[in-house]
Structure formats: structure tokens, C-alpha cells
Amino acid sequence: MRFVRILARYIVGIVFIVSGFLKGVDPVGTSLKVKEYFHAFLNMDPGQWALWIGIALCAMEFLTGVCILKVIKFRFFSGLALLMCIFFAGVTFYSAYTGKVSDCGCFGDVIHLDPWPSFYKNLVLLALTIFLYTQRHRARPIANSFWEWAFMFGYAAFIVGVSLYSMRNLPPADLSDFKPGRDLFKGDSTAMVKYKTEILYSKDGITKKFSLNHLPDSSWKYVETISTVIEGSERIAHKMPFLLKDATGEDVTEFVLKTEQPIIFISFYDADGITDDDLGKLKNLGDSLNSAVASDIFGAYSSGARNAAIYVLSALTPEETLASLKPIADAVEKQDISDIFSSSHGERNLPFKIVYGDFKTVITFNRSNGGATYVNKGVIVKKWSAAQYSNQKIISAITKNPYLLTKGSEHQSRLFLIVSLAIIIGMVLIIRFISKALYKTVKGTVDVLEDMGE
């Protein structure tokens, strides 16, 4: 029975740690899954709360896994693990039965599970947590109450810190459909998948869905764009399609990507989250990549590429996008260098062009609102968050060998996941062993002294 308890504790603890950590390193992606569940089950939008709900859920899963594996406050956390497994089993069963959620999101973008396999996985975990809960009285503490609370605080602070870092920067392990190395020209099986795009607007406390062809007047405030699979399955497609449109709705994907020039995409999916500093950086980048100096730099990189193409990839409507970028257009006009780019879609006076995608595509392409993505000949090479990128970093990147840069980004993601999970689980077990040994020694000494005192 002792061996079964240890085995069950290891399985439950490691699964919870891995699940919480993989979602915790991508809090923006986790918030998308939270929103999907809220829409599917409650028909409501949690808004910005989805991000913090996701971080709290990841922290709770991770901390529960650590405390189960380490045997800290075991009676409480075995009960909490049981409640979570009951909840997860119910949610995945309903998802599988109704088909409302195609991917459970249990392990972020690293491991994709369809609803039924996810439900069976949760049934196994449920059986193990029931067993651990019935055996909770046999658990032996490894430290006194003070150190148990100290351990819990430390591990909770760690996973929340990882999430906050990833939220400001980018996930240190990018395993999304648009990770570095993805060839945006491949994945023709996505043709079997059709999407329905709806845009949420709010007014006077009421939120409504509108189609692209029937948008409301300016008195309504944009909330978000929702893309739903109406034919086929994203699991059939394996990879999310990358579709770009101009302001009139015309598909310009092939036109944009089929170029020998390096391409820099700046992602916009939240107008309220774009600051004046972000706009200033974007203008400076556009000026730099279209200047004669930049042409000379890129000429040294490739005789066929005299400069870099820069696009704003927006999930907003054309009107909202141009309104957000108006300070840049005004600044360009004051400098008397207008018509850097001109088009029939209102992009006059901007040192870049604008293309549009649905919300899910844009936020998956780069998790950072205002972040930069470098694409070379249709292959994603490198990404930066809005807080990370600079003219110097981007110019330096596109003058290097794109193949080596891509491979470096791919290896970095895989290495981070493998090493960090190995270190986390290893340290939990090592610290448990040391703590247990010290606790036994100290407790034994105290018992001897008490006996002598008597």
C-alpha cells in the first residue's frame, strides 16, 4: 500500500506541476482558453479578468502539484486536488459530449488533447486523487508549520513571477501554432476548415455580436473579435491558418509573404493597450527600415533585398486601427515626409503598411500587443515583445543568417521546457528529502530533551 501511495502521489503531483507550469509560462494563451470556456459554458465574456483567472488557476495547479509531491499540508491539498479533478472531469465530459470546446488546453500549446482523451485522463487522475484523499491521515510532515508556509509562499511566488514575466515579455518557450520555424506557406489541410468571424461590441452595459458586414455605429465600443470553427476542425488542420486581408477584406497573404525582403510584423490586438511609447517606437522603426541607411545595411545582407518590409498586423477594424495610428501620421506630416506609403485605404503618411487578421490569429502570432515578429521567405524567425524590441535588435537580427537564427529560437524553446521542468521537479524532491531528514533529526532531538526534562 505504501508503494501505491508513493506512485499515486508522484503521478498526481507531476501532472499538476507540468500542467500548471506549461500554462503559467503562457498566461495570454491561457486567458484565451479561459474566455473560450466562459463563452461555451456561461455565454459571457470575462474581459480582462480572463488573464488573472488564468494566472490564478495556473498558480493553484502548480502549487497543488508541488505540495502533493512534497507532502506539505497534505490533508488540505489532497482535498483541493480531488475537488479540481472532479471539476475538470465534469468540464471535459461536457465539452466532449457537446463538442463546444475542441481542445481542453490542459497543457497549454505543448500537448493538445481532444475532449474525450482529456476526459479519460481526468478520470484516471480522479481515481488517484480519491485514493490519496482516503490515505491523507497517513501522510507524515516534512517540516514544521513555519517552513511549510515558507515553502508554499516561495513556490507560489515563483509561478506567479514566471507568468508576470511572460506577460510583459513573451513566453520563454513558444510552442504555439506560430512558433519560430513555422513555414506560413505550409499546412494546406487548413483548407478543410472554415471559420465564422464575429466582433463583440458593447454599449450601455450591453454586449452584442456583429458580423463583419454589419458593424454598429461609432457609439458602440469594440470588445474583441471571435473566430469559431463552423466546418471541419482545427485538429484536422493541425496548424492555425495564417490569413491576411487588406482594409477592403481582400486576401493579400500571398502578396505579402512572397518576397525576398525580410518582413517585420507589428501585432495590434488591443487599441487601449497601445501607449504613446509604443507608437513612438513603431514610427522610429518604420523610419529606420525605410531609410537610405537601412538600405545600405540590408544591401550588405542580401543583394536582392535592399530594405525590409514592415507591416502592422491588426485585429481591430480599419477605422479603429487608423485612429490608433493617427499620432504617427500626424508626426510624419509635420516632418514634411508624407507619402512614405500611400494606398487607397487611408494608410497615407504612415511608414508601414497595414494588414488585418482575426483576433485569435493576431494574438497567437505574437502574444505581445505591439510586439514584433521577423519573417523571412514565409518562415517565422524570431519574436520580440513590445517591451523588448528596438531598432538595433531588429536590424541586427535581419542582417544575420535567418536559418541559424530560426534554429536558435527553436532550440531555446525546447531547452527551456526540458531543463526548467527537470530542475523544478528535481529541486522539489531534493528539498523534500533534505527537509524530511532535518525535521526527523530536530524532532528526535527535541523529544530526547523533553524526555530528559521529565
Least reliable range by pLDDT among 22-26, 221-225, 294-298: 294-298
Quick one: three-class SS letters along 174-234? CCCCCCCCCECCCCHHHHHCEEEEEEEEEECCEEEEEECCCCCCCCCEEEEEEEEEEECCH
User: 133-159: per-residue pLDDT in tens?
Assistant: 999 888 887 778 888 898 899 999 999
Question: Is the pLDDT reported for residue 305 higher than 60?
Answer: no
Q: Give the C-alpha separation, 201 to 223, whole Å.
A: 5
Q: Give the C-alpha separation, 72 to 143, whole Å.
A: 8
- Residues 6 or more apart whose CB falls under 8 angstroms from that of 91 comprise 37, 41
Q: Give the C-alpha separation, 102 to 96, whole Å.
A: 8
In the predicted model, what is the mean pLDDT of residues 40-66? Answer: 89
In the predicted model, what is the mean pLDDT of residues 378-401? Answer: 90
pLDDT at position 297: 44
In the predicted model, what is the mean pLDDT of residues 104-108? Answer: 80
pLDDT at position 226: 66
Report all structural domains of the chain as residue ranges with CATH numbers, in order of start: 2-168+414-445 (no CATH), 188-192+238-400 (3.40.30.10), 194-231 (no CATH)
User: What is the pTM (predicted TM-score) of this model?
Assistant: 0.77
- Judged on CB neighbours under 10 Å (0-12, 13-18, 19+), 386 is buried
Question: Is the pLDDT reported for residue 16 higher than 90?
Answer: yes
- pLDDT interval class at 95 (50, 70, 90): confident
In the predicted model, what is the mean pLDDT of residues 186-196? Answer: 52
Query: Residue 245 carries which DSSP code?
Result: B
Q: Alpha-carbon Rg of the chain, whole angstroms?
A: 26
Please name the residue that has the C-alpha cell 513612438. 280
Q: Give the C-alpha separation, 359 to 207, whole Å.
A: 17
- Residues 6 or more apart whose CB falls under 8 angstroms from that of 354 comprise 246, 247, 311, 312, 314, 318, 321, 322, 325, 345, 347
- pLDDT interval class at 44 (50, 70, 90): confident
Question: Is the pLDDT reported for residue 295 higher than 60?
Answer: no
Q: Give the C-alpha separation, 16 to 80, whole Å.
A: 12
Quick one: cell of 37? 470556456
Least reliable range by pLDDT among 20-29, 260-269, 328-337: 328-337
